[in-house]
Amino acid sequence: MMASVQVVEQLPLSVQLRDDATFDNFYALQATEVVAQVRLSACAKGEQSIFISGPEGVGCSHLLQAACHEAQAQGANSVYLPLDELVLYSPAIFESLEDLPLIALDNLQAIAGKPKWEEALFHLFNRVRDSGGHLIFAADKGPESLGIKLPDLLTRLQWGLIYPLNEVNEDFKVEALQYRAHNRGLELTADVARFIVKHVEGSMELIFDVLQELDNASLSAQRKLTRPFVKTVMGW
């Protein structure tokens, strides 16, 4: 099930947050400083601009959505915009967003090199700075490597805190999966977690979707998550 995020009237579609994309569900490991700073932004504190970069699956999108969940829990409006899904629409979706305390813009690489979008983002950045709001950006690369053509926009993207997140290895995925399972009240051994990770190609989001399916099956069958049970449920 997805949780709705409050959005402004200009948006062409309803953007939603994953229910499980929370700070409590984020396996931080060495990203504790990033999490701390994003939490501050969610509470309208700290640096006004944060830029997080990293390849798919490292948790950039999770952190942006977690910030919006946290803002909502604090009674504040927020908006999460995955720009790779919105780039076919007009940059006018940025209009009036500065009225919100928190704006989370994901997959910034989708609009890099597109003059109208870059200009619209440049003006949004200025308006948000003036209004005292907070911006959190995420992209697959750092600002200097995105291919931003508008020099003034690139400068602004580099003003705030910049955090690169490194690609995760198999051991990290196993630990993150066990962490998520523990939060769901599931007992998941390292052996079974590694078995799942080896069979799921792609991002941590896909791995967590498998965990959701296994959780439901385990509850229904009143079975523990063992290798044979996982193989039966997933057809591996």
Cα distances (Å, whole numbers) of residue 212 to 187, 199, 209 = 13, 15, 5
Confidence class of residue 87 from pLDDT cuts 50, 70 and 90?
Answer: very high
What six digits make up the tokens of 163?
Answer: 């955090």
Which pLDDT score, from 0 to 100, does residue 32 have?
87
Q: pLDDT tens, 101-129?
A: 999 999 999 999 999 999 999 999 999 99
Q: Are 77 and 6 in contact (CB under 8 A)?
A: yes
Which pLDDT score, from 0 to 100, does residue 167 have?
80
The DSSP 8-state label assigned to residue 193 in this structure reads H
Task: Tell me how far apart the alpha carbons of residues 2 and 21 are, in angstroms, rounded to a whole number.
Answer: 10
pLDDT beyond 70 at 5: no
Distance of alpha carbon 208 from the chain centroid: 14
Q: What CATH number labels 170-234?
A: 1.10.8.60
Q: pLDDT tens, 152-201?
A: 999 999 999 999 998 888 898 899 899 989 988 899 999 999 999 999 98
What are the residue boundaries of the structural domains of the chain, listed by start? 2-164, 170-234
Distance of alpha carbon 213 from the chain centroid: 21
Task: Tell me how far apart the alpha carbons of residues 81 and 44 are, in angstroms, rounded to a whole number.
Answer: 18
The predicted model scores a pTM of 0.79
Q: Strand, helix or coil at 33?
A: helix
Q: Strand, helix or coil at 81?
A: strand
Task: Tell me how far apart the alpha carbons of residues 186 and 98 are, in angstroms, rounded to a whole number.
Answer: 41
Class of domain 2-164: alpha beta
Which pLDDT score, from 0 to 100, does residue 30 have?
63
